[in-house]
Structure 1
Amino acid sequence: MQTMDAMDATPAGGRSSPAVARNTGPILEVLRAHLPHRGVVLEIAAGSGEHAVAFATALPGLDWTPSDPSAEARASIAAWAGAAGLPNLCAPIALDVLDTASWPDGPFQALVCINMIHISPWTATEGLMALAGRGLRPGGLLALYGPYREANVPLAPSNAAFDESLRARDPAWGLRDRDAVVALARDERLAFTMRIEMPSNNLMLLFRRV
C-alpha cells in the first residue's frame, strides 16, 4: 500500500514533506493533551518520519514506534531517527494495515495515524480499525488526522479540489465520510470521543478502546 505522498529529498538522506512543517505543531498540541505520560505509541503510515522525530522529542516519556509498508518511507524514517538520536524513538517497522501478518502484537497505549485514510483504499481504513481494536489496551487512544466529509457541513472548496485530485490519481482514494469511519471504528470496539477542528480544514478524530 502506498502511504508516502510526493516529497523532496533532503541532504541528510531523509525525505521532507511541506505539510509536516504546517501541521506538526497543531497535532502535537492535541496529542500532548490526550496521550498518557508514559507508554508505547504505534504510528501508522509514518511517511517521512519527521512527525515521529518531533513527537518523540516533545513527549520523552513515550516509546514511539513508527511504521510504514514502504521501504522508501522506512529509509527516510531511519535517516531522521538516526540524526535525532532519541532513546525513545524505535526503529521503523514494516507494518501494512492490509497484511495482518505484519501487525505487531502490542498492546499499545495509543495508535496515531496522520493523513493515510484519504490516500489509501477503504480496505486500509478497515485494516487500521481492526488493528486498533486488537492492539490497543482498554482505554487506549486512536488518533486520526486529516480531511473528512461530514453530513450537514459544507465541504470547503480546497477540500473539494483535493478530493478531486486524489480520485484522479487513484479512484480508490478520496476524502472519507466521517460517519462511515466512526461506524467502522464502533464495530471494532472503538468509541468516538472527540472531534477537533484543525487548521486548513482538517480534523482530529479521537477514539478510545472500550
Structure 2
Amino acid sequence: MKRHAPATARNREPIADVLADVLPSRGLVLEVASGTGEHCAFLAERFPALEWQPSDPDADALESIAAWTEGLANVRPPLALDACGEWPVDAADAVLCINMVHISPWAATLGLLAGAARLLPPGAPLVLYGPYRQRGVPTAPSNEQFELWLKDKSPEYGLRLVEDVTREAAARGLTLDRIVPMPANNLILVYKHDA
C-alpha cells in the first residue's frame, strides 16, 4: 500500500536540483531509509541513466516503496536495511539518505557513515538531507519546535550538529565537500569518500 509524506512534494525538486550536480552520470545509487518510496520514484524518473536501490528497515515502508516504484525499470526491489546492522549491498556509486539522521538514534548515523565508507569508491558521494544545527548559526524557531516534538517521541532523536556528523564522517574516510542550504530550514550535506 502506498504511504504518503506531504513534505516530499515540497522538497523533491530542490533535492533533485542539488543531486544533478553531485551524483555520477551512471551507476548505482543506494538510498538508505527510503521511507514511503516517493523520493526514490521521483528521482528514478528524473535520473533515468542511474540505477536506484531503495531500502528501509520497516516492513510497511518496504511495501510502500515497492508500490511507488512499480514499473520503473531503473529501480531495484527494495531491500531490508538497518543502518546499524549488516548491509545487504556490496557496492554503490552514491549513497543518499533523506530525513533519517534526526529521527533515529545516533548509532544509526554512525552506521550510515560506516556503511557508506565501506561501499563507496574514492570520490563518490554520500548525500544527507534534513534539518541540522551548526555551531554559531541560529536555529530557526520551526526547527526548535520540531526538535521538541522529536525528543517527545524519543530522547535518542534530535537535530544533529553538522560538526559532529562531519567529525565522525572524517574518522571513516568521508570528507565534507559542501553544505547546501535548502527550503524550510533544511540542509544538504555532501561527503566524498577519500581516495
- What interval of TM-score do these two structures reach, taking the shorter chain for normalisation? over 0.9
Q: Is the 8 A contact 1:103 1:131 kept in 2?
A: no
What's 2:100 paired with?
116
Match 1:140 to one of 89, 111, 124: 124
What's 2:165 paired with?
181
Q: Which amino acid aligns with 1:14?
A: K
CA positional deviation for 1:103: 3.5
What's 1:10 paired with?
none
Instruction: Name the CA distance, whole Å, in 2 between partners of 1:166 and 1:47.
Output: 17
Instruction: Name the CA distance, whole Å, in 2 between partners of 1:193 and 1:134.
Output: 18
Q: What SS does structure 2 have at the residue aligned with 1:167?
A: helix
Q: Is the 8 A contact 1:97 1:103 kept in 2?
A: no
Instruction: Name the CA distance, whole Å, in 1 between partners of 2:128 and 2:83.
Output: 14
Alignment of 1:102-113 (within 5 A): 102-106=87-91, 108-113=92-97
Are 1:65 and 2:53 counterparts? yes
Deviations 1:119-163 (Å, cap 9, x if unpaired)? Answer: 000000000000011010111100000011111100110000000
CA positional deviation for 1:37: 1.0
In structure 2, stretches of 5+ residues that fail to align are none
Q: What SS does structure 2 have at the residue aligned with 1:138?
A: coil
CA positional deviation for 1:25: 0.5
Deviating runs (4+, > 3 A) in structure 1? Answer: none
Q: Using the aligned pairs only, state the percent identity.
A: 48
Instruction: Name the CA distance, whole Å, in 2 between partners of 1:125 and 1:164.
Output: 20
Are 1:190 and 2:178 counterparts? no
Are 1:90 and 2:76 counterparts? yes
Q: Is the 8 A contact 1:96 1:103 kept in 2?
A: no
Alignment of 1:1-210 (within 5 A): 13-82=1-70, 85-100=71-86, 102-106=87-91, 108-210=92-194
Q: Taking structure 2 as the reference length, what is the TM-score of the superposition?
A: 0.98
Q: What SS does structure 2 have at the residue aligned with 1:197?
A: strand
CA positional deviation for 1:63: 0.3
Q: What SS does structure 2 have at the residue aligned with 1:196?
A: strand
Q: Taking structure 1 as the reference length, what is the TM-score of the superposition?
A: 0.91
User: How many residues end up aligned between the 2 structures?
Assistant: 194
In structure 1, stretches of 5+ residues that fail to align are 1-12
